[in-house]
Amino acid sequence: MNRFTRRIGAVGVLLLLAGSLAGCGSDSGGAGGASGGPMDATKAGLPKSADDVNGTIDKTKVKKSLVVGVDNPYYLFHHDIDVALAKGYFKEFGIDSVDIKTIEDPLPPLIGGSLDLALYDTDTAIAAAKKSGQGLRFLSVYLGGEANVLGVGKGINTGADLKGKTITGGQFGSRNDAIIRQLLRDNGVEPDRDVKIVSTGGQSNERLQSVIAGTVDGASIQLRHRTVLEKAGGKVLFEETREVPQSGWSANKLLQESPETVTAFLAATLKARQFITDQANKDEVLTIMRDKKFEIPTEYADAYAAENAPDYHVSDGGFKPADMDKFISDQITYKTVPEGTDWRQYTYLLPLWRAQKALGLPLNPAIADM
């Protein structure tokens, strides 16, 4: 299940910042030219082919120290950076240090300039880019798979056993809430008729604990929670997976001030991700993260193969435009993205393409598909 349950109100904070930040970024949008210079895609247009994309990173133009924001304390959202630091990949591309700030909503400080990049929900970032008009751009997918999982408590073994039970997908109006309802329907259970859907705060860890405690009978949980729930006497009742570009990196001022740094950051973290998604490196990755004081119990380590599969923790940072089309269309329906939003206008892919080329990877998405 998508771990994110965001309030549209967060975008309101961004709008309050907009007046004081006028002029710090362009709203011309799009995927930009091939030179690696400041973003003005409306004028520069897309590179015509992979040959027009410069994969050589000029380290003399790269900022040495960065501060980035991540919204989740779970190791999965930190290990690209920590592995890149441990393996020397950042230094390889000209960056000496990266300071990670764990912030519930990193978009306001990203727009304000205290963060260089932020890892956050794709839909929320694109919605904020449209509403704030401050040059915020989505850059690259981090998690491109979505596991929709209904975990239930003791004594529930079939869909029929859910009748009259209490289920939560998180906050009403969130993507989690919408897709848990769809998951129920796909398995013959009608929300608000066969079961009672309730709105709850917090993230998936809190929902898991609510099921274990019996506060609710079932909830949307994550892949890593399966073993924990089973040990408590519960089980995963329904499960679906799909390709959804649910989260990724965004930048704002750094794109204007040092686009070379954005490319260097993506190259280093994608190189780390190639290492992470190679299952042969699981033990080394987990050792690095435990040395960084992350708590990774055996039950969560057992989910490594699923959570770090190349098509889930997207190994090249890319995505299928058709998947993004559907995702943003869905989010417009759920009212988390403004009506009429064209995600391409708020997505800048040149740094990703340059990073992919620097690593010898095929350009994804292909230029022709954009």
**For the stretch 13-33, what's the b/e string if a residue is b when 16 or more beta carbons lie within 10 angstroms of its beta carbon?**
ebeebeeebeebbbeebbbbb
| Separation of alpha carbons 182 and 177, rounded Å | 9
| Max mean pLDDT range (8-12, 109-113, 168-172, 179-183) | 109-113
- Beta strands, E only, the chain: 65-70, 97-102, 117-121, 137-152, 166-168, 196-198, 218-221, 235-251
Pull the structure tokens for residue 135.
Answer: 């040059």
What's the pLDDT score for residue 134?
Answer: 86
| Separation of alpha carbons 169 and 207, rounded Å | 8
User: Which percentage of the chain shows pLDDT scores above 70?
Assistant: 88
CB 196 within 8 A of CB 167: yes
Residue type, 215: T
| Separation of alpha carbons 159 and 194, rounded Å | 10
Pull the structure tokens for residue 10.
Answer: 């967060």
| Separation of alpha carbons 276 and 2, rounded Å | 21
| Separation of alpha carbons 358 and 347, rounded Å | 20
Q: Tell me the per-residue pLDDT of 8-28, one tens digit each, with 9 for 90 and over.
A: 333 343 333 333 333 333 333
Kindly compute the dihedral angle of the four CA atoms of residues 23, 28, 30, 35, in this order, to the nearest 10 degrees.
Answer: -70
Per-chain mean pLDDT for the chain: 88
If you search the block for the tokens 């299928």, which residue do you land on? 320
57 — pLDDT class (breaks 50, 70, 90): very high
| Separation of alpha carbons 81 and 67, rounded Å | 11
pLDDT at position 205 over 90: no
| Separation of alpha carbons 364 and 140, rounded Å | 10
| Separation of alpha carbons 7 and 123, rounded Å | 12
What's the pLDDT score for residue 176?
Answer: 82
Of the candidates 221, 228, 205, the one whose C-alpha atom is nearest the C-alpha of residue 299 is: 228
**For the stretch 293-311, what's the b/e string if a residue is b when 16 or more beta carbons lie within 10 angstroms of its beta carbon?**
ebebeeebbebbebbbbbe
Other beta carbons less than 10 A from residue 158's beta carbon: 11
223 — pLDDT class (breaks 50, 70, 90): confident
Alpha-carbon Rg of the chain, whole angstroms? 21
pLDDT at position 175 over 80: no
| Separation of alpha carbons 237 and 1, rounded Å | 13
